[in-house]
Amino acid sequence: MKRDFLQLVSERTVLFDGAMGSMLIDAGMKPDECPELWNVEKSSIIKEIHQRYFDAGADVVLTNTFGGTEIKLGTKGLEKRAEELNKAAVRNALSVCKTNRYVAGDIGPTGKFLPPVGDITEGELYQSFSRQTEALLQEGVDMIVIETMYDLREALQAVKAVRDIASSIPLITTMTFEKKKRGFFTLIGDTPEKCFSALENFGVNIVGANCTLESKDMVELCSLIRGKTRLPLSFQPNAGQPVVRDARVTYPQSPEAFAADIDQLVELGASIVGGCCGTTPEFINAAWEALQKRI
Amino acid sequence: MSIFNEISEALVKGHLDKTLELVNKSIEDGLSVNEIIDNGLAVGIRRVGDLWEEGEFFLPELMQGAEIMRAAMDVLNPHILKQKDDITRSMGKVVIGTVAGDIHDIGKTVVGSMLTASGFDVVDLGPDVPIDRFLSVAEEVQADMICLSALLTTTMIIQRDLITELKKRDLSHKYVVMIGGAPVTQRWADEIGADGFGENAVAAVKKATELIKKK
């Protein structure tokens, strides 16, 4: 029987997987397609990606459900298939999950904004996150990861939705921050301190940051915030800043450079590390090797 | 402080009612619509953009500024149209919009309004406009100029794609193409073969006027 996840986090550094979105684009997914639909229509590709991350050394893979709320799926007319797609995603990950590895149910932002930027309500957000959580839990994930949140208020609705359904499932929540002259802020203007404090109050077990920042900026963020929360920290940087050339987006960082910063993050006390946009199984393997060297 | 400074300050501070009050007062005092926009509102919204870049303002403040700008333009529009009616000859017909996949439209709307104020007949297609729509409307209204706005490095590409499409359809000679938007530069305009580029609304109108005369 595998170790309780929070117990594992207290014992050693845990390695999350890398990007799904950019891997799907490399596999031929077009801009107007729905990634979650591939859980049903191209499930073998999804399984293969999860498999490759496990092979690279990841302890945890995140389900291909980043845009899996009804609100987000609704933009592609797929809201009625939300339950089906989320459950298929979990089954895909579970089917290739190795012994003593974990599957995390992934919850991303809805894409709709609260006032004054947009007009979605907190109630609508809560409902959407609640239904996604039900589907993920029913199919059997080991933990929930709420990620890439740029509005603390939205993140808290997701946290509440999870905790109202499952009071003790391991819950990781990572925000996405931009590096501004004055420091790190979300799009809405939330600081890391404000976020982590609120998230802790609402019952999140592990906090951190993912996306937007490349690894060297993530290291800077980590060193700024590590004293500011008692909770374990999780970081998933991008593989550098994206470069647009001829309508193609590429990420310029090498796996080696990425891994060196991952090592730094662990040195500074990060409990969970992984990769976001532009990272591949190669990146996660380089990170894994860096973690092995530390043992 | 001049009333224009008061307008820009009120906008930056996010005071909707105050801004509209000052705009109405300016109209009553007989100040020109162009000046109210150039020296008041545009200065304010540019300052909001600067504060965003400096990391002082975030999305909520940006949206608030945008809302005030929109509301102020709504107040000014009847006066813009009246001013245009006083110009006996149309400067030319313009189709303007923000390219597909891009929802940013404040700057584009200001350019459209200022072109109207300067005597152009403007059809504003709004945000997120596919190439086909730009071209079919331009054909339908017999436009002289197509103006494309893009605010993202990823959507800028569509400006080039439209010019390529015009070449493909052998329509390059038919329309003057102008581009604009925050990431757009003269270098990009030269690279893609745009006829003109406007760094801001005022520059855009100047360039449009110059190009239409040459057509």
Res A217 pLDDT > 70: yes
Quick check: A224 and B97 in contact, CB under 8 A? no
- Position B201 scores a pLDDT of 81
Residue A247's pLDDT is: 64
Residue A116 preceded by cis peptide, ω within 30? yes
Residue A43: name the closest of A7, A6, A93, A84 by CA: A93
Query: Residues 66..85 of B with a Cβ closer than 8 Å to A: which?
Result: 67
- pLDDT-derived band at B72 (thresholds 50, 70, 90) equals very high
Cβ within 8 Å, pair B58-A117: no
Q: pLDDT digit string (tens) for A26-77?
A: 999 987 899 999 999 999 999 999 999 999 999 999 999 999 999 999 999 9
HSE-up (13 A, CA, CB side) for residue B17:
0
Burial B130-160 (b: 16+ CB within 10 A, else e): ebeebbebbeeeebbbbbbbbbbbbbbbbbb
pLDDT at B94 over 90: yes
Burial per residue of B23-60, b for 16 or more beta-carbon CB atoms within 10 angstroms, e otherwise: beebbeeebebbebbbbbbbbbbbbbbebbeebebbbb
Q: Three-state SS across chain A?
A: CCCCHHHHHHHCCEEECCCCHHHHHHCCCCCCCCHHHHHHHCHHHHHHHHHHHHHHCCCEEECCCCCCCHHHHHCCCCHHHHHHHHHHHHHHHHHCCCCCCEEEEEECCCCCCCCCCCCCCHHHHHHHHHHHHHHHHHHCCCEEEEEEECCHHHHHHHHHHHHHHCCCCCEEEEECCEEECCEEECCCCCCHHHHHHHHHHCCCCEEEEEEEEEHHHHHHHHHHHCCCCCCCEEEEEECCCCEEECCEEECCCCHHHHHHHHHHHHHCCCCEECCCCCCCHHHHHHHHHHHHHHC
Quick one: pLDDT at residue A174?
A: 98
Distance CA A62, CA B182 (A): 36
Contacting B with CB below 8 Å, chain A residues are 113, 116-117, 178, 180-183, 185-189, 244, 246-247, 249
- What distance in Å separates residue B59's CA from the closest CA in chain A? 5
pLDDT for the residue numbered A213 = 96
pLDDT at A175 over 90: yes
Average pLDDT, chain B: 90
For residue B88, pLDDT beyond 70: no
Chain B neighbors of A120, CB-CB under 8 A: none
Q: Which residues of A touch B61 (CB under 8 A)?
A: 189
pLDDT, tens only, B2-26: 999 999 999 999 999 999 999 999 9
How much is the average pLDDT of B23-34? 93
Residue B199: per-residue pLDDT: 87
Q: Please state the CATH superfamily assignment of the domain spanning residues A5-294 in this structure.
A: Homocysteine-binding-like domain (3.20.20.330)
Q: Are B60 and A116 in contact (CB under 8 A)?
A: yes
Identify which of A116, A185, A249 has the shortest CB distance to residue B55: A185
CB contact under 8 A, B59 and A117: yes
**Which pair of tokens denotes residue A129?**
């996150």
- How many CB atoms are closer than 10 A to CB A281? 23
* C-alpha to C-alpha distances, B102 to A57, B90, B126, nearest whole angstrom: 39, 30, 10
Q: What is the mean pLDDT of chain A?
A: 96
Q: What is the pLDDT of residue B56?
A: 92
Q: How large a percentage of chain A has pLDDT more than 70? A: 99
Predicted TM-score (pTM) of the model is 0.83
Instruction: Among A181, A183, A187, select the one facing B54 at the smallest CB separation.
Output: A181
Mutate to test the interface with A, among B58, B69, B158 (most CBs of A within 10 A): B58
Contact B157 A185 (CB under 8 A): no
Contact list, A178 vs chain B (CB under 8 Å): 55
B154, A247: Cβ pair inside 8 Å? yes
Provide the pLDDT for residue A141.
98
From B170's Cα to the closest Cα of chain A, the distance in A is 23
Give me the pLDDT at residue B52, please: 83
CB-CB under 8 Å, A181 with B55: yes
Does residue A192 register a pLDDT over 90?
yes
Cβ atoms of A263 and A221 closer than 8 Å: no
pLDDT category, A165, cuts 50, 70, 90? very high
Chain B's closest residue to A115, CA to CA, is B60
- CATH code at B3-85: 1.10.1240.10
- Model pLDDT for residues B130-187, shown as the tens digit of each residue: 999 999 999 999 999 999 999 888 889 999 999 999 999 999 999 999 999 988 999 9
Position B38 confidence tier, pLDDT thresholds 50, 70, 90? confident
Check pLDDT > 80 for residue B87. Answer: no
Whether residue B116 contacts residue B94, with contact meaning beta carbons closer than 8 Å, is answered with no
Which residue of chain A has the CA closest to B157? A247
In this complex, the residue of A117, A181, A247 whose CB is nearest that of residue B63 is A117
For B92-214, CATH number out of 3.40.50.1950, 3.40.50.280, 3.40.50.2300, 3.40.50.800 equals 3.40.50.280
CB contact under 8 A, B55 and A182: yes
| Per-residue tokens: B73 | 């333009």
Domain extent listing, chain A:
5-294
Contacts of B63 in chain A (CB under 8 A): 116-117
Q: Is the pLDDT of residue B84 over 80?
A: no
pLDDT of A72 reads 96
Chain B: give the shortest CA distance to residue A153, in Å: 13
From B54, B56, B60, residue closest to A117, measured CB to CB: B60
Q: Are B56 and A185 in contact (CB < 8 Å)?
A: no
